[in-house]
Structures are given as structure tokens and as C-alpha cells.
Amino acid sequence: MNRVLITGGAGFIGHQLIYRFLRDTDYDVVSLDRLDTSGNLNRIKEILEDNPEWRHRFDFFWHDLKAPLNDTLQKQIGKITHIIHLAAGSHVDRSIEDPMSFVMDNVVGTTNLLLYAKELPEEELKLFINFSTDEVFGPAPEGVAYKEMDRYDSGNPYSASKAGAEEMCVAFCNTYKMPIINTHTMNVFGIRQHSEKFIPLLIKKIRDEEKVTIHSNKEKTKAGSRFYINTDDVADGVLFLLENGVVGEKYNLTGERELDNLELAKLVAKLMDRELKYEMVDFHTSRPGHDLRYALDGSKMKMMGWEPKVSVEGRLLEVIEWSLKNERWLK
């Protein structure tokens, strides 16, 4: 019987992974979370209320990974065959104000999880997937999309701490021959996302006929851009890597195509059949560490046979319709 441990399971991406494992596989799922600013148990609560037949396959444990997993907790968790590590401090502004807390959360926390995984029986642990970020590569010049093994150029303490966590995973794979792979994801959107994030904020402001601020260059002529990817596509990519990923490799999980933030805002307004009121804002000068453009090359995964199955318009429409029916998540 496969049993997957998902750290940060009450988070935005983590809860969608839990849903997909329970829906699409026969895995038992264990969630480990400290329930801080990004963790919200209501996400998991709603999944299990809608699907009570899954309850016997799910366990939740509170733990802060800055501390090692003690013997009692390890016994409670029980046998684990797969680990997906999403738990992390992930707020750029807070990392600039307090870099050490991100070293503790992301570098020390990841190392504590790796030490736990190292002691699992070799015949039981099949794969450890670490979630890193596109931001480890730094800002992408126009026309450049970073491949998995390109050099790092962290633009803020958050991305540096994620790069450090990723390198610890590489080191444990090389030193202890552990079955580890790393993924890089770009800006993720989907249902039950925190309302402060750009897409739910867009939906709320367009619904309420409020002005939207668009992250732009200093001259306020060009909006920042990203390859937005839906949580369901991220989960789909993870399930694909469970079967097709190669130990020691890195993989970019990237969206269908690049959109700048003004294009995205106009697309959301169009799908909502509403007018867009917006203002271009010089975001980088006022908030250093936030880069105008990030970009990942998704060709490696595409050559292996994976890419997002639904267009970004289709995914946005799903999220808009769900959010307007579940407005408590827009508050």
C-alpha cells in the first residue's frame, strides 16, 4: 500500500494534491502542516465533507519543520512510501524584512525533513519530490526561459532560501543515494487561493467595479509577466512524475503560455463580462525583490509527454465560476 506524506498539505497547492491523490489514486495521504499564515484546514475540511468516503485514507499531523520529527511523531505517521515537500515560507516582502526566518523555514526545515526521510527503510521510500520555485533563477530577460539546470541568481532572500533547500535535496540525493527529484513551478492559481493573491484579487475587484493595480516597469509602460499555471495542472504534473520522473533530475512545471499581468486582467474581465478599471504601478521600485518577469522552459516535461491539458482561458473560467459561487474565499 502506498502512503504519501505531503508537507504543507493545508496550503493552497498542497490541498489540491491531497484531493487528487484521494480522487485519482489508491494512496493513503498524510498531511503535515504548522497552520501558519498560509495553511488553512478549511480547505481540507471542504474536500472531506464533499467526499466522506475518503476520510479513512487521510491523516493530519501538526508540526513545524524547524524542529526535527521526533520519535513519537514518526511512529504516529507510520509507514511512508512517498514524500512531497511543499511546506515553506514563501512571502517575498517578509523575507526581505526577516531573512533568517526564511533560512530556518526553508533550509533548516527541508534538512530536518530530509534527515527524517533518510532513516526510512530503503525498500519503502520510493520517491521524495521537493517543490522549488522559478524565482531561484532570478529575473528573466525578454526572450529567455530558464531550463532546469541553468544558473541561479536569486533576487531576494526567499528565493535564496529555496535555492538552498533545493541544493540540500541534491546533496542528500548524491551523498546518501536517496530517491529525490526537484521541481520548479511558476505562479500558481486555482480554487481556494488566499484572497490577497493576484487572480482572486482580480476577480473580487472586477466584481466590485474597483480599480486594479498592475505591476509594471518604472516607466509604467510594460506590465510584469508570468507563465501562470493552475493547481490542478500542478497536481497532474506531480502524478506524472511519480510514474515517469528520474531520480536526481529536476523538472519545470510551467503554464501553457506567457501572459503579462495586464493581459491577464483583461482576460479575467472578459470572462466575467465586466469592465476592467486599472492603473499601472511601478511595483519594482516600491517593492524591491519583486522581479518584472520570470520564465521557465517547459520543453523537458513536454518531451516526456506532459503539458497542461486545459487552456489558461479554460482554467481561469473554472476558477472564476467556482469563486463567484463560493464567495467566502474572496473575502
The residues carrying an active-site annotation are 134-135, 158
Q: Which residues contact 97 (CB under 8 A, 6 or more apart)?
A: none
- The residues facing 130 across adjacent strands are 85, 182
Place of cell 487521510: 58
Residue 264 CB neighbours (<10 A): 23
- The residues facing 62 across adjacent strands are 33
- List, as one string, the DSSP characters of 2-45: -EEEEETTTSHHHHHHHHHHHHHS--EEEEEE---SS--HHHHH
CA-based nearest residue to 95, from 87, 86, 105: 105
Report the alpha-carbon distance of residue 86 to residue 31 in Å, rounded: 11
CA–CA distances in Å: residue 104 to residues 6, 111, 162, 193, 269:
19, 10, 11, 25, 40
Residue ranges in 38-189 assigned as alpha helix (H): 41-50, 71-77, 92-97, 99-102, 109-118, 157-176
